[in-house]
Chains A and B, each alone.
Chain A
Amino acid sequence: MMMWRPGTIGLLIAILAIVGVWLLVLPTVSNLPSVRERIDSNHAAGINPTAVFYTDHPGMADIERSVQSRVDSPTGWFWKRSQ
């Protein structure tokens, strides 16, 4: 008779649960209008919400260029303290 290592059943159940959630539940959730809207909006803006560091964010270089040109604007408005 085949000997099961203790915990094997638990591991198999967990793997089945993961497969079920990731292949059935989450794809269904991603079609919910509010979730879809959020995902599409992030895609359109080039946002990777799981970026751990600023360099992981794909749109960061464009943001930097855009902000930097305003901060370094020759008018010096950014740094002026009065309105």
Chain B
Amino acid sequence: MSQQPNPSDVVEPLENGTDTVDESSPPQRWYRVDDFLAMGLGALIIMVAAAGSLATRPGNFTELTQAHQIVKTQLKQLDSRSESFSADRKQLLKQQADLEGQMASMPLKSWLVRPGEWKGDPRTAFTKNDKSIVPPLVATFAVMLILFSATTIVQGQSAVKFAFGFFGVFSLALVSYVLAGQEVIKHYNLEYALWAVLLGLLISNTIGTPKWMSAATRTEFYIKTGLVLLGAEVLFNKLLALGLPGIFVSWVVTPIVLVTTYLFGQYVLKIPSKSLNLVISADMSVCGVSAAVATAAACKAKKEELSLAIGLSLIFTVIMMVVQPFIVRASGMGEVIGGAWIGGTIDSTGAVAAAGELVGSTAKDVAATVKMIQNILIGVVAFAVAVYWVSFVEPSTDGKRPSVIEIWHRFPKFTLGFLGVSLAMSFLQAQGIEGKTLVSSVVDGTTKSVREWLFCLAFVSIGLESNFREYRKMLASGKPVILYLCGQTLNLVLSFLMAWLMFEKIFPNAANELISK
């Protein structure tokens, strides 16, 4: 008989309520609460990355800055002429990229890695440029073990037990990355999140999650810390990357689809779980996995609800990234409108770029840029969902609208860290090339890798704490699939209409400008 309690007996919310006051036990000190610890840990990682980057800046940074300014001016002069200078333009853009690469020092990047792509021999996933990445992988494990063991000690738990468990969870995350790295799996967008949840589920539903591993299945904490780090990538300066058309396709259509789908789920489909409804609506309308994670944490969704929403998103993304480019080409809607349509509707960024490329280079650029602008929306969506949830959805103790103090107690405070980091990094990004390269070195050199690992650890933990029966129960009515399909249909129609309106009727020169050079 299994030694473990059946994980489906208790379905825990993603938010474990550690920041609420339990009257039967002494009040928990604020610094032991997951939300504050996640914010502290996130801030520490960002500060170490920034300090490392500043300390290792190249000696000729000033000269590089001046050279960058010269290239930028040359590029502007070239773009101001009516003739097309495609080759010169490409050359200048390459120079600009090289200079920015030299200016953004990333001392930690080569030590924070994950397995790469492979075809027939999985051992090749552990090499990069013919060099073994095993030592950096060990370093990645060690860094994360130290950081999370320290937080375990702060929370008054056993660091030794955590270390054993973390070894198990990290190993499963590593296997998930290897499975996701097989080239067919990778190029058809079956992301690591799916394999991480499935591996966890496989163990919890066969032999049961071993007790020694349970000490490190800290889903909420990994997600909250990962989201605080994700804040560094949510840069509001990128909003105007595609001018007003980009804003309209990404920031006007998306909220309309999100709210309409949620209301449809509530009042037409009558989905019993509001959080499941909201997570599916957000991951379908905003940007897939990352939006699902942020929304689920903000509305305290159940672990199974998050993984179900991600599963739906991944399955439909695989279909859409094959079908949509075909429709764009067959209908002759053009690369710009087609690209904007693909960018506004396919859930994940990588799939958007791959689908856009099947249409053409301009379509890929437009699609990826629209998706990038949409990505930025998740900061606002997560915050809005958190406010809406604690103010209007969670029942009040006396049945009345909760007071401001009650709202503050319930509020998932890590979202403030998420938004705070996002605003701080956006401010830094706006401080010329120095700020831009510093942000780039922090994100590309450190926080992105740590965030990816944290999400993978969270998905493994979700699998280890879940049961297939829960998924069967949620899918029995078919309502989550109907919700996704109806919402995505609306998304497809509205995104196309908005892209057509913007690039064909209101800003026709924008489309010409994007194609011409």
Contact of B93 among A26, A39, A62, A74 (CB under 8 A): A62
Number of A-B contacts (CB under 8 A): 198
Asked if B350 and A56 make an inter-chain contact with CB atoms under 8 angstroms apart, the answer reads yes
Does residue A23 face the partner (Cβ distance < 8 Å to B)? yes
Contact of A77 among B287, B361, B513 (CB under 8 A): B513
Asked if A67 and B182 make an inter-chain contact with CB atoms under 8 angstroms apart, the answer reads no
Asked if A26 and B354 make an inter-chain contact with CB atoms under 8 angstroms apart, the answer reads no
Bound state CA distance, A83 and B343, in angstroms?
A: 25
Asked if A38 and B187 make an inter-chain contact with CB atoms under 8 angstroms apart, the answer reads yes
Asked if B184 and A26 make an inter-chain contact with CB atoms under 8 angstroms apart, the answer reads yes
- Given A52-B290, A53-B375, A67-B365, residue A59 in contact with residue B353 (CB < 8 A): yes
CB distance from A62 to the nearest CB of B (A): 6
Please name all residues of chain B whose beta carbon is closer than 8 Å to the beta carbon of A74 when the two chains form the complex: 76, 79-80
Q: Is chain B's interface secondary structure helix, strand, loop, or mixed overall?
A: helix
Q: How many residues of B contact A (CB 8 A)?
A: 81
Q: How many residues of A contact B (CB 8 A)?
A: 55
Does residue B2 face the partner (Cβ distance < 8 Å to A)? yes
Does residue B517 face the partner (Cβ distance < 8 Å to A)? yes
Contact of A50 among B192, B240, B508 (CB under 8 A): B192
Which residue from chain A places its CB closest to the CB of B90 in the assembled complex?
A66
Asked if A11 and B203 make an inter-chain contact with CB atoms under 8 angstroms apart, the answer reads yes
Which residue from chain A places its CB closest to the CB of B314 in the assembled complex?
A50
Bound state CA distance, A55 and B289, in angstroms?
A: 14
Please name all residues of chain A whose beta carbon is closer than 8 Å to the beta carbon of B510 when the two chains form the complex: 71, 78-79
16 A–B pairs (Cβ distance < 8 Å), ordered by A: A7-B208, A11-B202, A22-B179, A26-B182, A30-B120, A48-B350, A49-B351, A52-B288, A52-B290, A52-B452, A53-B290, A66-B365, A69-B75, A70-B514, A74-B79, A78-B513
Give A contacts to B, CB under 8 Å: 5-8, 10-11, 14, 18, 22-23, 26-27, 29-30, 35, 38-39, 41-42, 45, 47-57, 59-75, 77-83
